[in-house]
Structure 1
Amino acid sequence: MSTSVPTSPRETSTMSVRPARPARRLRTLAASLALVLAGSLSGCSLVDKIGGADPVEAENPTAAATEAAYDSQFTRDGTFQSHIDIDGMDFVYTLWPTKSTPRTNEWYPKGNKFFSFTFQVYDLDRKLRDPFRTKRKAYLGNIKVTSRTITADGGRTQRPYRLDAEAAAITFDPEAVTHPVHGMLITSPKGSFELRNQKIGPMSNDTRGLELTFVADVHYETAPGSGQFVAKKVKQTVPIAIFESDTPTQVAKIPVNAN
């Protein structure tokens, strides 16, 4: 496996006795749009049926998007986790920087940056310690991750990380439980997809943010032991701040089994 393989209609009005109101409305609209933009970049998820087209990405994000990219849970907390509820199945993406580049406030354009991530699901219709046989099974087939940079001046988009592979073939567990058609088991606590030490390559010096978009092809049971499955794509976008510096991101040597 290699990471290389794998944004209103114009409003018109006539002159009124109280001309200040349209101006206030426009200011309110502008402020609302700014809040929507910032919220969308803080980490958004989306669920589609398998076969749906992936969202089209703007090639040159705006300067406002550049500022909002700093609102990153991953950068602020040193980890990112999302919970996506589909029919009572809680799909969980978790990302964190690895020990080779652990300080997210020192992720600079130059140099490589490393992260790990997991993806698993919990059947919320059952208690955590209920017998596993009473829980709906979910399986992960293909896992795809794309990237795009956000630059200070709206420059050319770069894509320093990419993944597109069958999950069972690349997960940390070499003997993952698999389904002959739907992929590897990801229902907790018996199954989880894990990928370690993923390399994000160097970016242009004007890069101020990075978005990673995850798309997982999943099948989950309609009822425990039913053998009947629902197919979905589970998507998650994770914003990451990149800080201005002429110094490359420092990469420390770590043991092969470090995380």
Structure 2
Amino acid sequence: MSVSAARPARSSRGLRTLVAALALALAGSLSGCSLVDRLGGPDPVEAENPSAAAAQAAYDSQFTRDGTFQSHIKIDGMDFVYTLWPTKSTPRTNEWYPRGNKFFSFTFQVYDMNRKLRDPFRTKRKAYLGNIKVTSRTITTGGGQTQRPYKLNAEASRITFDPEAVTHPEHGMLITSPKGSFEIRNQKIGPVSEDTRGIELTFVAEVHYERAPGSGRFVAKKIKQTVPIAIFESDTPTKVGKIPINAN
């Protein structure tokens, strides 16, 4: 009798443990994910038809909730930082609808955490950004075909906001703060299907950073970041305000 009574208790404890683990896994998936690869590794393969559950998860978006997104990816004492925000043409992220264009800007830079913020720049390790690639995919409730309303694939120094970025002859533009930063403005996400409830942007930056300050020896990495953005159901197109082309 005592043996049969103990078995349900262990089963109940096991079930509670499984539910807790699933909850933690779901929570980790909602805020965006980052990944670091060696330069030359394959880009992530995406499912063509994300599930309805993924559409619900898309609503838990830092970008949508806070009106900005920032991630810190730390490697070897270097802090790589992606920052995204909606531009003034479509500033209200809770009014990003399937129809109409939506605009955002983003930056990418790195801090040498082995040095203090006010230390001389010559004592900090330099990091350079070569190619920057951004892909997108929609998350729908109807299970329709995946759309890709935004893409970017370019040499960073050719498209960054600074027309005179400091560059390395082989590795691209300087992105070590405070002397360098990649910035691009007013990027357009085009219209999507009416059943779209989320858009995922995946960023891949090809970087080289110094092993030691002034050493001239570099480590190559791909810095990846996925950013979920919520899209709200509406028959009304996203309202786009007129702003100067260089407005932030």
Same fold at TM > 0.5: yes
1:34-55 deviation line (CA, Å, top 9, x unaligned): 5413422311100000111111
Q: 1:22 to 1:130 in 2, by over 3 A?
A: same
Aligned to 1:148: 137
**Aligned twin of 1:39:** 28
Give the Cα separation in 2 of the matches to 1:239 and 1:58. 15
> Counterpart of 1:148 in 2: which secondary structure?
strand
**What is the 5 A alignment of 1:201-220?**
201-220=190-209
Residue 183 (structure 2) pairs with residue 194 (structure 1): yes
CA distance in 2, matches of 1:18, 1:131: 65
The offset of 1:169, in angstroms, is 0.4
Q: Does residue 168 of the first structure (1) align with residue 157 of the second (2)?
A: yes
Q: What one-letter code is carried by the residue in structure 2 that aligns with 1:100?
A: S
Change (3 A) 1:182 1:239: same
- Residue identity opposite 2:153 in structure 1: D
Q: Deviations over 1:198-248 (max 9, x none)?
A: 000000000001100000000000000000000000000000000000100
* Cα distance, 1:67 vs structure 2: 1.0
- What is the distance in 2 between the residues matched to 1:107 and 1:21? 48
Name the counterpart of 2:218. Answer: 229
Alignment partners' CA distance in 2, 1:30 and 1:150: 25
Provide the TM-score with structure 1 as the length reference: 0.90
Structure 1: 5+ residue runs without aligned partners?
1-14
Structure 2 unaligned residues grouped into runs of 5+: none
C-alpha contact (below 8 Å) 1:38/1:65 kept by paired residues = no
In the aligned structure 2, how far is the partner of 1:225 from the partner of 1:32?
A: 45
Within 5 A, what are the aligned runs for 1:52-91?
52-91=41-80
Of residues 239, 245, 248, the one that matches 1:256 is 245
Match in the other structure for 1:106? 95
Give the whole-Å Cα distance in 1 for the aligned partners of 2:20 and 2:145.
27
| CA drift at 1:28 | 4.9
Q: Do structure 1's residue 241 and structure 2's residue 230 form an aligned pair?
A: yes
Counterpart position of 1:180 = 169
Tell me which moved more, 60-69 or 35-44.
35-44
Q: Percent identity?
A: 84
Q: Say if 2:112 is the partner of 1:123.
A: yes
Asked whether the equivalents of residues 38 and 68 of structure 1 are also in contact (C-alpha less than 8 Å), the reply is: no
Counterpart secondary structure, 2:236? coil
CA RMSD, aligned part only? 1.7
Q: CA deviation at 1:27?
A: 6.6
In structure 2, relative to structure 1, the CA distance for the partners of 1:150 and 1:35 (3 Å cut) is farther
Contact 2:185/2:246 (8 A) holds in 1: no
Structure 1 residues 26, 60: closer, same or farther in 2, change over 3 A? farther
**Cα distance 1:258–1:176, how it changes in 2: closer, same or farther (>3 A)?**
same
Count residues with an aligned counterpart.
245
Q: Indicate the residue corresponding to 1:135 in structure 2.
A: 124
Report the Cα offset of residue 82 of structure 1: 0.4
